[in-house]
């Protein structure tokens, strides 16, 4: 299985273990990208992180833990590890302490939805930089639990962002997803609302002339190779078990990044962002999942459809065949970094966002059906099961759609 090691977050290769494997070799995850890996390590990160108090929420997760590993190279003055899963927090805390002896590391068990606890951490430690990684991310799981997606992805983000603003944090970076683009899933729609909320906070600060206020920004990226629950570790386990390897659809395509790439992009965005932006990495062409499955079987020294069968299981609820992480000139604009662009999305009206959040809070307490309906009203481009809401305006801003205009 994949793991991360070393201060630079290098990806250790997968090792073929199938008993029939012939001529197996180490499998580098970067070989599955279909493009050269992107390295965004620049002196700007040193200026951004050196000597700063840095908080990472979801610090025990795949992205959060790698951000912790990567940023330790830039000598932050204090690292706050915020995580609700005790075992995950224990592991990343121990790893960092063993590798960076003497570093000021504070493990904080906390649920981001617990506003009182989050405020306590902020007021005690006054973090200057926040990377908000904590989220529910699995599309099918959130289709079954839409109320929890709203509570964690939207109101958890709100709790951390509000605490950052109150504590005078300099930079707040939200981890978002390509699934927030014209979302077909509850997860994608919930992350889109989270984006809109932090953009509205940034717009409010700007309107008040707060040049020294918190810079709120977001980073979107595609699927992460080797992360917990991602496709490559799942395929590898299926290969080791003798198959079959399960693929949802022959035409399913996704954009992919390595965990180090994703983590570096997040840090880089925080360094270059002025506030209000939604950054995206140019990840090249999307990769067909079927091709990835076959390549992984071959790299285990086996023959696809002979040694290991491939089975098609059907598209799951909330999934698209193609994600829409476009980087063309019409939808995005360039930055100083060749591989990073910024989505041209106008911030939603703060008053409209507040009304939307009130509706979502009530819906999340009422039940799953009401939760999905509320998300559709708040995110006009949200089209579960490929059915866009009737009369949905072609906009990326939050504009409440009348309840009687929703498609059945």
Beta bridge partners of 173: 131, 217
Give yes or no for residue 7 having a pLDDT over 90.
Answer: no
Full residue range of the structural domain in which residue 359 is found: 350-405
Q: What residue has token string 């386990």?
A: 237
Q: Is residue 315 part of a domain?
A: no
* pLDDT in the model for residue 119: 98
pLDDT at position 226: 56
Helix ranges (H only) for 173-314 are 186-207, 231-240, 259-272, 289-299
- pLDDT for residue 399: 53
How many domains does the chain divide into? Answer: 1
Pick 393 or 74 by higher pLDDT.
74
Q: DSSP E strands: which ranges in 16-73?
A: 53-57
Q: What's the average model confidence in pLDDT over 190-197? A: 96
Q: Is the model's pLDDT at 372 over the cut of 90?
A: yes
- This prediction's pTM: 0.80
Q: Which two tokens stand for residue 23?
A: 């001529």
Q: What is the mean pLDDT of the chain?
A: 82
Q: Is residue 368 part of a domain?
A: yes
pLDDT confidence of residue 109: 98
| Average pLDDT score over residue span 285-313 | 86
pLDDT at 340: 80
Look at residue 361 and tell me if it is in a domain.
yes
Mean pLDDT of 243-249: 89
Residue 301 forms part of a structural domain: no
**Model confidence pLDDT, tens digit, residues 52-85:** 999 999 999 989 999 999 999 999 999 999 999 9
* 201 within a domain of the structure (yes/no): no
CA distances from residue 39 to 222, 263, 357 in whole angstroms, order as listed: 16, 10, 37
pLDDT of residue 307: 93
Query: Quick one: average pLDDT of 28-33?
Result: 59
Q: What mean pLDDT is predicted for residues 97-111?
A: 97
Rounded distance, CA 162 to CA 198, Å? 9
325 found inside a domain: no
pLDDT tier at 326, thresholds 50, 70, 90: low
From the list 52, 151, 179, 191, the catalytic residue is 179
Q: What is the pLDDT of residue 408?
A: 36
- Whether the CB-CB separation of 187 and 144 falls below 8 Å is answered with no
User: What's the average model confidence in pLDDT over 357-363?
Assistant: 97
The whole-number average pLDDT for the span 355-363 is 97
Determine the pLDDT at residue 235: 86
The residue with greater pLDDT, 372 or 29, is 372
Least confident range of 126-130, 203-207, 255-259, 385-389: 385-389
Report how far residue 58's alpha carbon sits from residue 129's, in angstroms, rounded to the nearest whole number.
Answer: 15
Mean pLDDT for the stretch of residues 80-91: 98
Half-sphere exposure of 97 toward its Cβ, with a 13 Å CA cutoff? 12
The pLDDT assigned to 95 comes to 98
378 found inside a domain: yes
Per-residue pLDDT at 320 = 66
Cis peptide before 244 (omega within 30 of 0): yes
Between these two residues, 404 and 194, which has the higher pLDDT value? 194
Average the pLDDT over 357-367 and give the result: 97
* Mean pLDDT along residues 244-267: 82
Q: In this prediction, what percent of the chain has a pLDDT beyond 90?
A: 50
State the pLDDT at residue 153.
98
Known catalytic residue at 320? no
Flag whether 384 is in a domain.
yes
Average pLDDT in the 77-106 region?
97
Region 374-383: mean pLDDT is 93
Q: pLDDT over 70 for what percent of the chain?
A: 77
Q: Is the per-residue pLDDT at 323 higher than 50?
A: yes
């Amino acid at each position: 299985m994949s793991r991360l090691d070393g201060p630079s977050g290098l990806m250790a290769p997968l090792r073929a273990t199938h008993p029939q494997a012939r001529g197996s070799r180490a499998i580098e995850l970067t070989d599955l990208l279909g493009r050269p890996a992107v390295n965004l390590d620049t002196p700007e990160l040193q200026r951004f992180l050196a000597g700063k108090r840095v908080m990472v929420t979801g610090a025990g997760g795949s992205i959060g833990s790698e951000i912790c590993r990567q940023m330790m190279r830039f000598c932050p003055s204090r690292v706050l590890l915020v995580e609700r899963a005790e075992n995950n927090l224990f592991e990343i805390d121990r790893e960092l302490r063993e590798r960076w002896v003497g570093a000021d590391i504070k493990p904080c068990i906390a649920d981001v939805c617990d506003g009182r606890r989050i405020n306590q951490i902020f007021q005690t430690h006054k973090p200057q930089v926040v990377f908000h990684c904590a989220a529910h991310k699995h599309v099918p799981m959130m289709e079954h639990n839409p109320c929890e997606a709203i509570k964690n992805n939207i109101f958890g983000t709100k709790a951390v962002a509000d605490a950052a603003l109150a504590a005078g944090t300099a930079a707040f970076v939200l981890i978002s997803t390509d699934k927030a683009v014209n979302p077909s899933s509850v997860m994608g729609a919930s992350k889109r609302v989270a984006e809109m909320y932090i953009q509205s906070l940034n717009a409010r600060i700007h309107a008040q002339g707060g040049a020294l206020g918190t810079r709120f920004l977001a980073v979107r990226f595609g699927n992460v190779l080797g992360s917990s629950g991602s496709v490559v570790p799942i395929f590898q386990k299926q290969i080791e078990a003798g198959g079959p390897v399960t693929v949802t659809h022959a035409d399913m395509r996704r954009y992919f990044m390595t965990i180090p790439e994703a983590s570096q992009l997040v840090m880089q965005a925080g360094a270059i962002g002025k506030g209000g932006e939604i950054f995206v990495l140019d990840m090249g062409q999307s990769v067909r999942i079927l091709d990835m499955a076959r390549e992984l079987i071959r790299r285990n020294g086996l023959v696809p459809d002979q040694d290991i069968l491939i089975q098609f299981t059907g598209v799951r609820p909330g999934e698209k065949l193609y994600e829409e992480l476009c980087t063309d000139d019409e939808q995005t604009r360039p930055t100083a970094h060749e591989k990073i662009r910024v989505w041209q999305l106008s911030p939603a009206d703060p008053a409209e966002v507040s009304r939307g959040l009130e509706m979502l809070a009530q819906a999340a307490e009422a039940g799953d059906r009401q939760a999905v309906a509320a998300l559709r009203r708040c995110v006009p481009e949200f089209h579960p099961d490929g059915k866009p809401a009737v009369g949905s305006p072609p906009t990326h801003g939050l504009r409440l759609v009348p309840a009687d205009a929703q498609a059945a």
